[in-house]
Structure 1
Amino acid sequence: MPIEAIVFDKDGTLFDFAKTWGTFGRSLLMRLTKGDVDRAAELGSVIGFDFEQERYTTDSIVIAATVEEIAEVLISHVDDVTLQEVVDMMNAEAAAAPQSPAVPLGPFLKGLQQSGIKLGVATNDSEHPALQHLESAGIREHFDFIAGYDSGHGFKPGPGQLLAFAAQIGVEPSRIAMVGDSVHDLQAGRAAGMITIGVLTGLAEAEALAPMADVVLPDIGHIPAWLVEK
C-alpha cells in the first residue's frame, strides 16, 4: 500500500537533538538558578542533563515530555518562581534555540512534495516555538499541518495529533508514515494505525526503537530511497 503522507516529529527527527538542545539546556538552567553554576549542574541532573558536557542522558525527560511535564519536575527544585513562569521561560528559551537540521531540509521536503506526499509535524514542544523553529529553518511552507502539545489534539504517545493530521488532509492513517526518534513517537504512530519509521538523530539507539518501528533509518534523508524499495 503506497504512503500518501508523512508526519514528522520535530526535535531529533527534522533537527538533530544533541546539536540543537544542548545550548538550550544550559541557558535555561542558568536562568532558573540566577547564574549559580553549581545549582545549575544539580538541577541538570534532575532532568537528565550533564551541565558541563551539555549532553542529555538517553532517559532524560526532555527528550519526549511536554514543556509542562518538564516544568512540573523542575518546579520543586527552584525558588521564587511559579509553574507558569517556568513554562514561559522554557518556551522563550526554546523559541530562541538555534536549530541544527538533520539533513538539508528544503530540498528533502520539496522532493517529497513533488512526489505527491502530504507533510505534517507533530511535536511535544509548544506550538509557538515549533512554528518559530520551522520558520527560522525556512521550511514552514512545506507542511500541511503543524501541531504542538498545546494545539488541542493531545500529545504523544497518544495518537491525537496524528489522527488530526490524517483527518485534515483526508488520508487514511494506514497510508501515512509517522517518523520519529523516540519510542513515544513510534507508540503514537502505532496507536494511530500508521506505518512507523524510527531515525537515529535523537538519543535513542536502534535497539530501543526497533520493537515499535517498521524500519529504523540513520536519518530522514534515507526515507526517499526506502519508499522506492518498499
Structure 2
Amino acid sequence: MRAFDGILFDKDGTLFDFKATWGAWSASLLGELAGGDTGLFHRLGRAVGFDVTTHAFAPDSPVIAHTAPEIAADLMPHLPQGTDHAALVARMNRLAAEAEPVPAADLIPLFTGFRARGMKVGLVTNDAEEAARSHLSHAGVLGYFDFVAGFDSGHGAKPEPGPLLAFCAAEGLNPARVAMVGDSRHDLISGRAAGMATVAVLTGIAGAEELAPHADVVLPDIGHLPGWLDRVPGALHPAS
C-alpha cells in the first residue's frame, strides 16, 4: 500500500526556480510602470520587497506567495492618481502568462514517475489559473496534472485550505493521503489546515529555518521527492 494517493504542488519556487523565473520579469514590469522615473522604479521595488538593482526578493516580499490583486494593492499608492486596480491586475496576469519559467528539476521524468506510482497530481497557485496553465504547458507537463487552480478559480487562495480541499473533492481523495509541496509558509500552512502532509522545498526565497516548523520534511528541491516517497511507511515503489 502506498503512503499517498495524491500530491499537490505550488508553482513558483516549487516547480520553477523563483528568482531565475521572476527576477528579471519583476524588474521589467516595475520599470515599465515607472516609465523611466528612476526614483519611482526604486519605490515600486521597495513596495513589493524587490531590489531592482540585484533582482533579489526580501523574505517577506508579497511577490513570493500573494495574489496579483494583493501585489497590485501594494503598488497602487505609488502609481499615478487614477491608476485602475483591476486594469493593473489584468496587465500583471497577462504579462505573467508570457513569462518563461525555469524548472527547479527535470520535470518530465519526475512526473512520469508520479504517474507510475498511480498518484493523482494537482497544482494550487496564488498566480492566475491561465498563467499557471501556460507555464505548465511551456514546461511540457500540463498533461500530467489532474487539477490546476489559481487564485481566480473560485476556490479561494492560500494560506486558506479551500483550493487544496477542492483538489481532493475533484479527485475523490482523502486529504490525509495527500502531500502538499511548497516553498513558502503560505503553502505549508494551507496544507496543514487541509489535513495534508507538508513538504517544504528550498528553491524559493524562504530558508529551512523558516519552513521547518510548518513541514513534515524539508527537501532541497522536488527532485528529491521520489526518494522521500520511497522512505515513507507504506510507500509503493513504481516497480512493485
Q: TM-score range by the shorter chain?
A: over 0.9
- Residues 152-184 of structure 1 deviation map (CA, whole Å, 9 limit, x = unaligned): 000000000100000111110000000000001
The counterpart of 1:136, out of the listed 135, 138, 144, is 138
Partner of 1:113: 115
1:91, 1:126 within 8 Å by CA — same for their partners in 2? yes
Write the mapping of 1:87-166 to structure 2, written as runs, cut at 5 A.
87-166=89-168
Q: RMSD between aligned alpha carbons?
A: 1.0
User: Are 2:165 and 2:175, in contact at CA under 8 Å, matched by a contact in 1?
Assistant: yes
Matches of 2:18 and 2:28 in 1, distance apart?
Answer: 16
Partner of 2:64: 63
Q: For 1:138 and 1:68, how far apart are their aligned partners in 2? A: 28
Q: Which amino acid in 1 is paired with 2:75?
A: L
- Render the CA deviation track for 1:62-96: whole Å, top value 9, x for unaligned: 11100000111111110142101210121122111
CA contact (8 A) 1:5 1:177 kept: yes
Distance in structure 1 (CA, Å) of the matches to 2:228 and 2:140: 25
Query: What CA distance in whole angstroms lies between the structure 2 residues aligned with 1:138 and 1:35?
Result: 36
The 8 Å contact of residues 17 and 102 in structure 2, kept in 1 or not, is answered as yes
Does the CA-based 8 Å contact 2:202-2:208 persist in structure 1? yes
Which residue pairs with 1:9 in the alignment?
A: 10
Indicate conservation of the 8 Å contact 1:23/1:97, yes or no: no
Q: CA separation in 1, counterparts of 2:100 and 2:211?
A: 27
- The answer as to 2:33 corresponding to 1:32 is yes
Q: Contact 1:8–1:14 (CA<8 Å) still a contact in 2?
A: yes
Match of 1:167? 169
Is the Cα contact below 8 Å between 1:199 and 1:216 reproduced in 2? yes
Q: Deviations over 1:4-49 (max 9, x none)?
A: 1100000000000011000111111012111323321221011000
Superposition TM-score, scaled by structure 2 size: 0.94
**Cα contact 2:43–2:78 (8 A) shared by 1:** no
**1:86 partnered with 2:88:** yes
Residue in structure 1 matched with residue 184 of structure 2 by the alignment: 182
Distance 2:52 2:73 in 1: 20
Moved more, 25-34 or 13-22: 25-34
Q: Following TM superposition, by how much is the alpha carbon of 1:121 offset from its aligned partner in structure 2, in angstroms? A: 0.1
What TM-score, normalized by structure 1, do the two folds share? Answer: 0.98
Identity %: 52
Measured in 1, the distance between the counterparts of 2:165 and 2:157 equals: 11
Alpha-carbon distance between aligned partners in 2 of 1:108 and 1:36, rounded to the nearest angstrom: 44
Find runs of 4+ consecutive structure 1 residues off by over 4 angstroms: none
Count how many residue pairs are aligned between Structure 1 and Structure 2.
230
Match of 1:225 among 212, 221, 227: 227
Which one-letter code corresponds to 1:33 in the other structure?
Answer: A
Cα distance in structure 1, aligned partners of 2:230 and 2:212 = 21
Report the residue type matching 2:12 in the other structure: D
In 2, Cα distance between the equivalents of 1:35 and 1:94? Answer: 21
Give the secondary-structure state (helix, strand or coil) at the position aligned to 1:50.
coil
d(CA) in 2 for partners of 1:65, 1:212: 18
